[in-house]
Amino acid sequence: MTIRKSVFLLGIALVTLFSGFKNQDTCNPITSAELKTMLQQLGYEVKDIEASVGKEKYSITMTTGGLDIPIALELSSSTKYIWLTVYLAMADASNGSKSFGLLQQNGLIQPSQFYITSSGKLMIGLPVENKAVSNAVLREKLDLLSSKVNGTKSYWQ
């Protein structure tokens, strides 16, 4: 067999071998409806917080460490991220040491983060890249966020 023929056959073999693999960058993001279905498949009771088309937002409750944690889920406006958020309490602007502690915790709970909304709600959020999201990935991220909520309760309760 000539070198040309060998290289040609090797090229065909490589193309055939790797043609079944998807590049994660080309994976289609899930839709809001698919997100809701996935949550139901995972066994959660899904509540609609917002049902307007393009602004769908859902809520589930997880119990971790004795806490019932209501987690809201929604797609970002670009659909590139799925936001998992939890309302913790109303922020207390007069308690500087508590705020300092929360900021310190942000470095430890990444990629989750504490933040305060314009209406003064203390929240924790976790952005999930909306690529190749499976039920297993979604469950992992929900478990991660609920464990961060439970693990930081002394800072926000």
Task: Tell me if the pTM is above 0.85.
Answer: no
Q: Tokens at residue 156, please?
A: 């926000």
* pLDDT category of residue 8 using cuts at 50, 70 and 90: low
The pLDDT mean for the chain works out to 88
**pLDDT > 90 in the chain, percent:** 71
Contact yes or no for 74/83 (Cβ under 8 A): yes
pLDDT one-digit tens code per residue, 53-72: 889 999 999 999 999 999 99
Which spans in 2-152 are helix H? 3-18, 32-41, 96-109, 135-151
Q: Provide the pLDDT confidence category of residue 92 given band limits of 50, 70 and 90.
A: confident
Give the CATH number of domain 25-156.
3.30.1460.70
* Greater pLDDT, 11 or 50: 50
With contact defined as beta carbons under 8 Å apart, do 112 and 89 qualify? no
Cα 53 → chain centroid: 21
Secondary structure (3-state) at 50: strand
Decide: 36 and 47 in contact? Cβ < 8 Å. Answer: no
Whole-number Å distance between alpha carbons of 109 and 33: 29
